[in-house]
Amino acid sequence: MPALRSLFILTAGLALAASAGAAPLDNPGFEAGDFSGWTTFGLGWRIGTGEDAATGASGAVCDVLPGQTGEPWRGLFQNVPVASGSTYTAGVDLRTVNLREAAAWLELQWLDENDTVLNQLQSDWFTIDQPFTAVTLPAVTAPPDAVAASIRGIVFIEYPADEPEFIIFDNFRFERQ
Task: Tell me the per-residue pLDDT of 110-126, one tens digit each, with 9 for 90 and over.
Answer: 999 999 999 999 999 99
H or E element in which residue 59 lies: strand 58-64
| 7-63 pLDDT, tens digit each | 333 333 334 334 444 458 999 999 999 999 999 999 999 999 999 999 999 999 999
Which H or E run includes 16?
helix 2-20
Residue in 67, 73, 33 with CA at minimum distance from that of residue 49: 33
According to CATH, what is the number of the domain 25-176?
2.60.120.260
> How far is 145 from 85, CA to CA, in rounded Å?
9
> Which amino acid makes up residue 60?
A
Find out whether 59 and 170 touch, Cβ atoms under 8 Å. Answer: yes
